[in-house]
Amino acid sequence: MMFDPVPPYRPNSFHVKLAIACWERRACAALRRQVFCAEQGLFSGDDRDAVDAHAIPICALSTLGGEADAVVGTVRIHAVPERPGEWWGSRLAVAKPFRSAAALGTGLIRVAVSAAHARGCTRFLAHVQEANAALFESLHWTSLDALDLHGRPHRLMEADLAAYPPMHDPEHGLITLRRAA
């Protein structure tokens, strides 16, 4: 008798929120190293920089039975103290097996901008890799300039804050459902 192999587990929902627990923060850092160092070769060894000292990490968690299972996406946000109201997002990363879940990037961007908006953000900016610019444009971002960072084409982009109402409880975040990219 032949049995079909059991297909790998594919979560259908993700919890996107501030990375509060120590394991979430560690997993966000590990995911960033995997994406930006190992896969893309943008940094050697580690991608941490001075921004990490005051940045707020956000994570996308896969869920199993409604409980957090693993960090499968991350982004960080931070205010610019010398420019009141200006916030930046950076280091958006999604684990390779989950990149087809279009809701992950969208959810991370939504929580990032909305959480900053609730904290007094009046301008939200990001350096976006050229390959991802179309996604950001579809989410109400405007391209301000083209530039080269780390040897790759990027765009300086700005979010339309009107499309991102303040999220006053980003610790709880939001649930996104898997859908095809």
Residue 169: CATH number of its domain: 3.40.630.30
pLDDT of residue 4: 59
Tell me which residue has tokens 């300039």: 145
Binning pLDDT at 50, 70 and 90, where does residue 69 land? confident
- 75 within some domain: yes
Residue 7 resides in a domain: no
- Mean pLDDT, the chain, rounded, equals 90
Tell me the pLDDT band of 75, cut-offs 50, 70 and 90. Answer: very high
When pLDDT is averaged across residues 34-56 and rounded to a whole number, the result is 95
Q: How many domains does the chain have?
A: 1
Q: What is the pLDDT of residue 33?
A: 97
Classify residue 104: in a domain, yes or no.
Answer: yes
Interval 88-130: pLDDT, tens: 999 999 999 888 766 789 999 999 999 999 999 999 999 999 9
Least-confidence region, from 17-31, 66-80, 82-96, 104-118: 66-80
Range(s) of the domain holding residue 147 = 13-177
DSSP notation for 133-178: HHHHHHTTEEEEEEEEETTEEEEEEEE-GGGS---S-TTT-EEEE-
5 part of a folded domain: no
- Residue 181 pLDDT > 60, yes or no? no
DSSP class per residue in the chain:
---PPPPPP--SEEEEEE--SHHHHHHHHHHHIIIIIIIS-SSSS----GGGGT-EEEEEEEEETTEEEEEEEEEEEEE-TTSTTEEEEEEEEE-GGGTTBHHHHHHHHHHHHHHHHHTT-SEEEEEEEGGGHHHHHHTTEEEEEEEEETTEEEEEEEE-GGGS---S-TTT-EEEE--B-
pTM: 0.90
Closest C-alpha among 137, 134, 132, 154 to residue 145: 154
Encode burial over 155-179: b for 16+ CB neighbours within 10 A, e otherwise.
bebebebeebeebeebeebbebebe
Could you tell me if residue 129 is inside a domain? Answer: yes
Q: What is the pLDDT of residue 100?
A: 77
Q: Give the per-residue pLDDT at 101.
A: 65
